Amino acid sequence: MQLIRQIDDYFLGNDEGTVVDRLYFYGVYCVSLLIALFTMTSM
């Protein structure tokens, strides 16, 4: 989760972040959450 916070600060912390950057970040965020869910349920 620490890495996600760093990525969040990187994308949303600077005002130069574009909408595409935010959409890309949220896409990666959702995918990583899904992978974490599948990993926990499969164990």
Inter-residue long-range contacts of 13-20, CB under 8 Å, 24+ positions, other chains counted: none
* pLDDT (0 to 100) of residue 36: 92
* pLDDT (0 to 100) of residue 20: 77
35 vs 19 pLDDT, higher one: 35
pTM of this prediction?
A: 0.48
* pLDDT (0 to 100) of residue 38: 92
pLDDT tens digits, one per residue of 8-25:
676 666 566 677 777 888
- Angle at which helix 19-42 crosses helix 2-13, to 10 degrees, equals 170
Average pLDDT of the chain? 78
How far is residue 2's CA from residue 43's CA, in Å, rounded to a whole number? Answer: 23
40 vs 21 pLDDT, higher one: 40
